Each structure stands twice: as structure tokens, then as C-alpha cells.
Chains A and B, each alone.
Chain A
Amino acid sequence: MKHTVSVHVEDKPGALARISTMFARRGFNIESLTVGPTERAGVSRITLRVDCSQHSLEQVEKQMHKLVNVLRVSELAPGEALERELLLIKVAVPPDRRAELMALAQVFHARAIDLGPDAVVFEVVGTTEELESFQELCRPHGIKELVRTGRIGMSRASARTSPRRLSAIN
């Protein structure tokens, strides 16, 4: 089963390596991993998307919680959290078919951020599913290059409780 895990860490050398080592040690494949600053100086937030059993996840999260640079570990449960991703995609398109592609882009709120003689670069922000739909619809035109950030997420503004702390026993 796939899980999205959010880890608040001190912005210190090696913090990311220590976390990814824990997943690698257990043979978990990390589907995506993003790191960036937060509202607090010196604190970064890592969002991981992993495919593993609930029991394995709880184990690795308890282990992560013991890492000195880790401040908080929580799971972003589906439905209780907002998750977004950014896609940059360079689509091959001759000038005579551009209009068709632009119409498609509008549906997905994709923004054309660069135009070339035979290609367009779009940026799309959305859920993973939206991004994948757009990606598939572009495919017949010819995808020249594609990059995605991996998902980031946080709890909803209406959430009364903070995301479930997995290292719960402590």
C-alpha cells in the first residue's frame, strides 16, 4: 500500500541521507521525495511517497523518530490532507496544431511558460491523478521532456487535529 509521509527535520548536513538510508535498508522503494524549507527557519520538511505495508511503515517511522535531526514524523492520510505536485512538460507541437493543445491545457489549468517553433512547455500544478491525466493526453502529440516534483502535502485548513503522529507510543 502507498503512503505519504511527512517528516520535519533540522536543516543539518546528512539529515536527508540518514532518512533515505532507513528506507533503503529495508528495501522500500521511495516513489518520490521532496525537500524544502518551512515556516520555521532551520527546519525543512521532507515528503516521502513509499509503497510498503502499514506494519513496516510504522516500524520505519519509529526508527526515523529516533534520528537526532528528526523533529516530527506524520502520515498524510488520504482524504485528510491536501497533496499537490508540479509538472513541467515539453510537448512537441507544430504551429498548426497549437490551438488544439492550448484548449486541452486550459481544461487542466496548465500554463504555457515557453513557446518554441515546434514545442511548448507547460507547467501544471495539481494532484498526482490530474498530472497523469494531462500527461497521457499530451502523449499523442509527443512528449519531448517531462519532470515532476513529487508530491508535497499538508493537513487541511479545516482539520481539527494535526496529522496522525505515527510514533504514537511515545
Chain B
Amino acid sequence: MSRMVGADAVLRSLEAEGVDVMFGIPGGAVLPTYDAIARGTSVRHVLARHEQGAGHMAQGYARASGRAGVALATSGPGATNLVTPIADAWMDSTPLVCITGQVRTSLIGTDAFQEIDITGITMPIVKHSWLIQDVEEIPHAIKAAFHIARTGRCGPVLVDIPRDLQEAALDFHWPDELDLPGWRPPTKVNKPQVHEAAKAIAHAERPVLYVGGGTLNGDACAELRSLAEAGRLPVITTLMAKSAFPETHELHFGWPGMHGPKWSNLGMNTCDVLVAVGARFDDRVTGKLAAFAPGATVVHLDVDSAEIGKLRHADVPVVGPLKKVLAELVREIAHLREEGAPAPEEWLRQLADWREEFPLRYGSDGDLLKPQRVLETLQALTAGRDDVVFTTGVGQHQMWAMQYLLCDRPRSFITSGGLGTMGFGIPAAIGAKAARPDATVVCVDGDGCFQMTGQEIVTSVLENLPIVVVLVNNGYLGMVRQWQDMFFDERFSQVHLTHQVPDYALLAEAYGAKGFTVDAGDDLEPALEEALACGRTAVVDCRVDPREHCFPMIPGGAAALDLLEWPGEDKESEVITG
């Protein structure tokens, strides 16, 4: 036990939690804590340029490492700038600990300078939050914050600390135990339920493992692989689960939903037993819910009981930590296979045939570089490497990244799924680099996304956290343009950004990074190669054909099997440029 002020207690608590890096920006109400940082801590502080960037960095760190990410900001606008990352972490179940300064306790409720009720604003999007009212609460609150962020279904938490309490003295004592009588996430597995699940799966003719992000959060990727291999079960991973199962594995059959390949959606929607593994039947996966996987028996495995039956009735619900649930299921399935329940070889052949029959396709018309080719080239240049981590923004480039990049190693694909936060990619890549300094971190970004958080390139350069940004620059808010083209009679409304302004390579150079411009197909591979090898932060501006749509596509509200395929060269060339 030692005497110190609240600000020091914050840092001693983070150190006790084993935090090695935090991301933030100082400001008035958090000054005492930054002063404590200046006085010394083993926690590295990465200075972001915008609190949203700091929050996404912490998310990228969390998603790449499996540990909780930490973001630090001041009160008022500092805290509100964290709202988007908190919401993103909420939707994608990312363990995120946000620490914000608050105005002095005597000023709370007076509309003081930079006072905002951040615990109130974030109430619907955090697992829990604390407004510290006594300096003595700080160690317990921070320990509890990390515990809650990481246990059960992962997610964001917030600790709001008034400035005077950061300056108040306390006897620091790191609690051995937490007093959280209401926090009891499931830790055990209901074996009879697992047995029921195993029977349904082992005797299925057309089973599918519909794998969601909970598998990564639950650290259950090895168990998933054992399950797929023991049962010879096909695996389809959602966007959030991309990299949870090796994508070059013979049992991996793509990604479901709005821009998933036709073979994956055929598999999901014609199976007889659908095994949801840490997945939540999101509308982007299911399309029209009533028409999703008709007739399939649903086995739903999740750590969060509130997901069971939320959107689709679960015939066999199993609530528990996925690592344990899957391990138990592996034993049961292996046993049932040994007893003679046949592996679904015919179904696996059917899925493989569909993959052959309905490959991803795109046009080759015109002189402009095709965006899909950028992703194919990036895939070719990184294939087989186990030290590459991808992040993305949100939009067409994200969907192409999902379709064309093959990720074999868990936590090597980090994207904003549920909230769909444009601008997520660059800061998330910086956070991922902090978590995996050995890795080459590549952000596949769009030009629209770049301009939302591109200033964090500075953070990447100055903090020596180099990343490679592969900019799929089509000069448009591409996904919106695609919808306007397809569903709004080609009336392009406020989507044209231009290929040339800003000049992204020059902008990168201005930020101290290396800039490349790729206008023609021949330049693509050398530029990407050099960027990947240079060891510095680099931006490769790939100016691509804005007319390319992302196919296949399930139109909003349509049944998954009513997906639209690439219409072919002829139709494509008729599309008018806006």
C-alpha cells in the first residue's frame, strides 16, 4: 500500500492489469493523469490526432491481440469523440476500456466548460460504466472495467474520473477480488445440451458451421478447427469471423450474406442443420430473415444467452464459453463419427462444385484499373505469409477485401462489421501494429474512409508504428454510388469525391509517409511490393474504375438466394459514369 494521488492510481492500476500501450489525447480534465504519465509509467502512450482515432487504435490493438484496448481522453469533446469507437466496440463485441477525465465534482451538473454527461450518453452502448465519486474507488473500478470488458461477451466499458479526484490522495491498494455480485457470465457447459447439439450435427446430411466473431473473441479458433476436421463439417465465416478458420483450408467455404459469394449463400441457405457458432443472425448475413435457411434445424452456440432466439428460433441452444463448448462438441462428434454417423462427403462435394460453378467474377472492359485486381494482387503478394494483418474501412473495398484476401491466421483481418464505421481502417491498423510489432499491417481503405481518419497517418509515422495503406480510390463514396446506380435510377447524389483531389500520395508525403500513385495496371504490383517491403508508413493510391459494382449482392430486404450476380461485360459497359 502506498500513498499517491488518483492519477497515479489510474496508471498503477493499468500497470497491474498488464497494459503495455494506451492510445489517447490530453486535455483539461485529464491533465493530472497526463502529468502522472510524464512522471513515469511502464505503459506506452500513443498520441493520436483525434480521439476517434485513439478509440479505433485501441480497438485495433484489442482485435489483433485478444487483450483489452485502452483509450484515454479528456471530458466534453474528447469524450464525445470516443462515442463512435465505443459504439463500434459495442456492435462488434470488442473489449475496450475507455478512461475519460471529467470536470471537478463541484462543477458536475453546472454546464461547466467541457462538461458533458458521458456516462449518460454512452449508457446504451457500454457493458458498464463508472462515474468515480470517491478517489478510493479508482483501483476497483479499473480492475472491474477490465474484467467486465473481457469476460462473457466482450465489449466496451467506460471509467469517467473527475479532475479533482485525479488530484486527491489515496492509499493505493490493488484489490485481490472484485465485488460484482450481478456479473456472472456463463463459465460452464451444459453437457446434455452439447450432446443434443452433437447428435443433430453428426446425423445431418447437409450441415454448415456458421461461424461468427464470437469464435475469435472466445479464443476458440483451434477448437473450431478440430470440430470441423473431426466432423468433416464445412465452415462459413462471417465478416467478423474472417480469419477464425484458415481460409485456404479445404473445409472453408467462404463468407455469407450481402456480398458473400453465391456458393457460400447457397451453402448457408440449403443446409439441413445450421450451427451458429458465436454468430448473431445479423440482417447483412441473413437477408430476408423469414426466407433464411428455410427448414434448417438451428443449433446455436453462444456465450450470450440474449442472442439465443433473438432473431431465429434455436432448436438446440447451448449457452457457454465457446472454447469449452466446442472442445466438448469435438469429443462428442468424434465419438459419433466413430460409431458410424457418416461424414457429409456428398454435401462437401456439392459445396465444392458450387464454388467451381459460381466463381467471383468481374469485368475487364475499359482502360481503368479494376478494384478487384488490386485485392487479387495484394493477396498474391501476401499469400502464405503468417505475419500480415489486414484492416479495412467500410464500403466496397471492404467487401472486396473479404472476397479476395485469404486469411489463415486468427486475428489477421480486422474490420468494422456491425456499426460499419467508415474511417475505422487506418487507426485500427496503427493499433494492430502496436499489438503486433513484428507483423506487416496493411489497411485496405477507400478514398471516402481515408478522409475521415487519414490524419492518423501522422500518428503512424511519428509513433513509429508503420502501416501500409492500400487505397482503393474510385473517386466516389463507392457503395453509396452502387446503391444509387442500382436502386435509385442512377441518380448520383453527393457521392463524387474525385480521384485526384486530394492527391493522396502527396498528402502521404506531407504527413511524412511514403506515397505511391498507381494509375495503370502495370504499376500496381511494383508499387505494392515496394510499399510492403519499405518498412515505413506508405500510402498506395490505386486509382480504380468507379463503375465497378461489388457482386454478388443481396438487395436490402431480399432473400439471400435472390442475390444478384455480376451481369457480365455487356451490361457492365452500358453503365453510365456519373
Contacts and interface: CB of A to CB of B under 8 A. Distances in A.
Interface of A: 9-10, 13-14, 17-18, 21, 25, 58-59, 62-63, 65-71, 167, 169-170
A169 B319 CA distance: 7
A25 B127 CA distance: 15
Nearest to B129: A14
A169 B183 contact: no
Contact of B306 (A13, A14, A63, A71): A63
Contacts of A70: 182
15 contacts: A13-B133, A14-B119, A14-B131, A17-B120, A21-B123, A58-B309, A59-B306, A59-B310, A63-B306, A66-B152, A67-B128, A68-B127, A68-B128, A170-B184, A170-B319
A169 to B, nearest CB: 4
B128 A17 contact: no
For chain B, give the interface size range: 20 to 34
Nearest to A20: B123
B304 A66 contact: yes
Contacts of B183: 68
Contacts of B310: 59
Interface string B170-206: 0000000000111110100000000000000000000
B181 A18 contact: no
A62 B131 contact: no
Contacts of B124: 21, 25
Nearest to A14: B119
B319 A67 contact: no
A31 B123 CA distance: 22
Interface in B150-178: 152-153
Nearest to A10: B182
A67 B127 CA distance: 7
Contacts of B153: 66
Interface of B: 119-120, 123-124, 127-129, 131, 133, 148, 152-153, 180-184, 186, 304-306, 308-310, 317, 319
A167 B181 contact: no
Contacts of B184: 170
Contacts of A71: 181-182
Contacts of B182: 9-10, 67-71
Contacts of A68: 127-128, 148, 180, 182-183
Contacts of A66: 127, 152-153, 304, 306
B181 to A, nearest CB: 6
A17 B131 CA distance: 14
A63 B123 CA distance: 13
Nearest to A72: B182
Nearest to A168: B305
A169 B193 CA distance: 11
Contacts of A63: 306
Given A10-B181, A71-B181, A169 B152 contact: no
B310 to A, nearest CB: 6
Given A17-B120, A67-B182, A69-B182, A169 B317 contact: yes
A66 B319 CA distance: 14
B119 to A, nearest CB: 7
A21 B182 CA distance: 18
Given A66-B304, A70-B182, 8 more contacts: A13-B131, A14-B131, A63-B306, A65-B305, A68-B127, A68-B128, A71-B181, A170-B186
Given A69-B182, A71-B181, A169 B308 contact: yes
B120 A170 contact: no
Going nearest first, the 4 A-B pairs with the smallest beta carbon separation are A62-B306, A68-B128, A169-B305, A71-B182
Contacts of A18: 123
A143 to B, nearest CB: 37
Interface-central residue, A18, A25, A63, A170, by most chain B CB under 10 Å: A170
Contacts of A13: 131, 133
A25 B123 CA distance: 11
A170 B305 contact: yes
- Which of A62, A67, A71 has the most B CB atoms < 10 Å from its CB? A62
B421 to A, nearest CB: 20
Nearest to A59: B310
Nearest to B306: A62
Nearest to B123: A21
A63 B129 CA distance: 16
Nearest to B119: A14
B571 to A, nearest CB: 43
B141 to A, nearest CB: 11
A13 to B, nearest CB: 7
Max chain A Cβ within 10 angstroms of own Cβ: one of B120, B182, B186: B182
Nearest to A25: B124
Contacts of B304: 66
Given A63-B306, A66-B306, A14 B123 contact: yes
A62 B317 CA distance: 14
Nearest to A62: B306
B125 to A, nearest CB: 10
Of listed B305, B310, B319, residue having the most chain A CB within 10 A:
B305
A20 to B, nearest CB: 10
A50 to B, nearest CB: 17
Contacts of A17: 120, 123
A167 B306 CA distance: 8
B180 to A, nearest CB: 6
B90 to A, nearest CB: 12
A21 B304 CA distance: 20
Contact of B305 (A10, A25, A62, A69): A62
Contacts of A21: 123-124
Contacts of A167: 305
